[in-house]
Homo-oligomer: A and B are copies of this chain.
Amino acid sequence: MKYRGNAYRLLESYDVKVGDRIVVKTRDNEYRGILMPRYELADDLHLVIKLRNGYNVGISVDEILSILLEERAREKDREEVVIGGREKKEKEEERDGSVSVEHNATRLAMISTGGTIASRIDYRTGGVRAALTAEELYSIVPELSSIAAIDAEVLMQEYSENLTPMHWSIIAERVGEKIYEGYDGIVIAHGTDTMHYTSSALSFALQNLPVPVVLVGAQRSSDRPSSDAAANLIGASLFAANADASGVFIVMHNGKSDDRIAVHIGTRVRKNHTSSRDAFKSIDTEPIALVDVDSSRIDMMLELNVRRRRDKARRPIVRTRFNEHVALIKFYPGLDPSMIEHLISKGYRGLVLEGTGLGHVSKGCFNAIRDAIDSNMLVCMTSQCIWGRLRMTVYETGRDLLSMGVVPLDMLPETALVKVMWVLANSSSMDEAKSMLLSNMAMEFK
């Protein structure tokens, strides 16, 4: 937990220790906060400062111009910073035999599936390893211990681009078990690339939930300077532990600032930026809540009905199967209808078209679509515009497609794909499937 090498020598030359309140000046910035310990595998090239907003920044030793000691830590506080909240509480327990009820009353299950948030680069080997035992979590993000008692486990270690519907089923099963075990909330650490597909999958697979199930990721890994991992984890845990809500959500940075974390409905959110920390956006709706990690305040932005509020007595409906014979095709000028014929020949059961505008594809695709529907394939329409309502009755093209039997799904294409996969695995007839598709099961409709 101690600094080594260059970092150690720098700190010693300024006579500052872990826990002290300091001001670090670099050429471009000035950082004011508490000097945090470095964890076991860290390099010796960075200091870690906890800013007032609860956010840890790593600062390259090479860039540091000066360090000012603002306030020397009391030994008691230094101990708190160094050993992390959890261990401290245990020590307190040992000391006075009592435990603060509010600390232990709330129990969160944290499940890691992989991705940037759950990884730390080992600078010695260059490899990446999952860091999600409760102890490691508390040592990286000590304030988690004041939010809840967290039981952490590594379920899988995959970058999310490698996840498939099979993985969704495994995650859903495990979350279902954790809910039956009585946790007050579930936090799932997940790669960001396909996090919105997984959040849709869990939204359909886990209905009637008693507590919040929150997916959280990071755009930059937790041991890099300017990581969003700590603030996102704190926001996710605050919401999962305390919000009067149930259902599946994605929790990520709300904007460029580090203290506001957004909570998105799992079926209404999309990764809209390759790299920025506020990459995830609610589409055609507001985030359901904003979490201020500085003050721990949760502002609900959307009113939830009773069925969507937290109710630990509620029994979840867990149906975790997905039909993988469902494809998504994004339409474009010149799309070869033989792509659709290929799916028919492979025995596909569902097709989600990502059409243009209000829900259109070219007349050149009509015959293939008719063939697909004749082959008992469920053909559905969404729009590649991303924003705005699907309206297939306005133009001739849309009306023609409707009359062929194309099902309009006024939701995100990614959500529609996942819903068709789930519906086909959980219905016994085409009529039942269509009726399920058109009912609003997880706030997925716009």
Decide if B162 touches A357 in the complex (CB within 8 Å). no
Q: How far is the CA of A328 from the CA of B331 in the complex (A)?
A: 8
Interface presence of A356 (CB below 8 A):
yes
Task: List the number of copies, as a whole number.
Answer: 2
Decide if B386 touches A275 in the complex (CB within 8 Å). no
Task: Identify the closest chain B residue to A396 (Cβ).
Answer: B159
Give every chain B residue within 8 A of A389 (Cβ-Cβ): 274-275
Decide if A327 touches B333 in the complex (CB within 8 Å). no
Decide if A271 touches B162 in the complex (CB within 8 Å). no
Decide if A271 touches B357 in the complex (CB within 8 Å). yes
Task: Identify the closest chain B residue to A116 (Cβ).
Answer: B395
Decide if B342 touches A274 in the complex (CB within 8 Å). no
Give every chain B residue within 8 A of A359 (Cβ-Cβ): 274
Interface presence of A279 (CB below 8 A):
yes
Q: Per-position contact with B for A382-422: 1 when CB-CB < 8 Å, else 0?
A: 01011111110001110000000000000000100100010
Whether A272 contacts B386 in the complex (CB less than 8 A), given A327-B339, A346-B336, A355-B161, comes out as yes
Q: How far is the CA of A63 from the CA of B198 in the complex (A)?
A: 48
Decide if A334 touches B421 in the complex (CB within 8 Å). yes
Interface presence of A324 (CB below 8 A):
yes
Task: Identify the closest chain B residue to A359 (Cβ).
Answer: B274
Decide if B274 touches A333 in the complex (CB within 8 Å). no
Decide if B274 touches A363 in the complex (CB within 8 Å). no
Decide if A358 touches B274 in the complex (CB within 8 Å). yes
Interface presence of A296 (CB below 8 A):
no
Interface positions of A from 241 to 293, Cβ below 8 Å from B: 271-276, 279
**Which of A161, A359, A414 is the most central at the interface, judged by chain B CB atoms within 10 Å of its CB?**
A161
Q: How far is the CA of A184 from the CA of B346 in the complex (A)?
A: 54
Interface presence of A136 (CB below 8 A):
no
A165 to chain B, nearest CB (A): 5
Interface presence of A194 (CB below 8 A):
yes
A425 to chain B, nearest CB (A): 12
Decide if B355 touches A391 in the complex (CB within 8 Å). no
Q: How far is the CA of A136 from the CA of B360 in the complex (A)?
A: 29
Decide if A334 touches B342 in the complex (CB within 8 Å). no
Interface presence of A197 (CB below 8 A):
yes
Task: Please give the residue numbers on chain A whose beta carbons come within 8 Å of chain B beta carbons, in ascending order.
Answer: 159-165, 167-168, 192-194, 197-198, 271-276, 279, 322, 324, 326-336, 338-339, 342, 346, 354-364, 383, 385-391, 395-397, 414, 417, 421
Of the A-B pairs whose beta carbons lie under 8 Å apart in the complex, a sample of 22, sorted by A's number, is A159-B395, A161-B360, A162-B362, A162-B363, A163-B333, A164-B362, A165-B333, A165-B334, A193-B357, A194-B333, A194-B356, A197-B332, A271-B385, A273-B388, A274-B358, A274-B390, A275-B389, A324-B334, A327-B335, A329-B330, A330-B330, A339-B342
- Other A-B contacts than A162-B362, A273-B386, 18 sampled, CB-CB below 8 A, are A159-B360, A159-B397, A161-B355, A161-B362, A164-B362, A165-B334, A193-B357, A197-B332, A273-B385, A274-B359, A274-B388, A275-B358, A279-B385, A327-B335, A327-B339, A332-B414, A334-B421, A338-B342
